[in-house]
A = this chain, B = another copy of it.
Amino acid sequence: MDELICFALYSAANATTQAYRQVLGPWDLTYTQFLVLVVLAGDARTVSVIGQELGLDSGTLSPVLTRMESRGLVTRRRRVDDERSVTVALTEDGRRTHDAVAAAVGCLTPSFLGAVPDPAELIRQLQGLTRNMKQLTHERRAS
């Protein structure tokens, strides 16, 4: 068990989501919703672009965005030049929530840094892992 990279990854991701759940609790936000706020804080985006950046598909994002819209955190509107696309943007309230939450999650940083001597290197490896796994998935899907 202990020698499985995949399990160490799985456990760490679960534990991290759990820690975020605690921190995000006061705003009643999930980790995924937090990620959407972070992405949109840069600029408004279409659903598909959000999906590309977070690695999620519409089956996951649609209900998430529906909840966030109903709570007034984001707006959704069809683009005029291409009615297939839907642009998602932060509302005033979404912006304020993002700013508050972005500050709050900072309390987790020491716990990350305490376990990771070289964060940039860890991120690099995890991104490489992500890339390899996705490639593998698509190879097998194609064949």
Chain A residues with CB under 8 Å of chain B are 1-20, 22-23, 31, 35, 38-39, 53-55, 108, 111-112, 114-117, 119, 122-123, 125-137, 140-141
Query: How far does the Cβ of A31 sit from chain B's closest Cβ, in whole Å?
Result: 7
Bound-state Cα–Cα, A2 to B16, Å: 17
Q: Measured between alpha carbons, how far is A41 from B28 in the docked complex, in Å?
A: 40
Copy number in the complex reads 2
Partner of A127, one of B8, B128, B133, B141: B8
Whether the pair A2, B111 counts as a contact (CB closer than 8 A) is no
From DSSP, what is the main secondary structure of chain A's interface residues? helix
Q: What residues on B are CB-neighbors of A140 within 8 Å?
A: 22-23
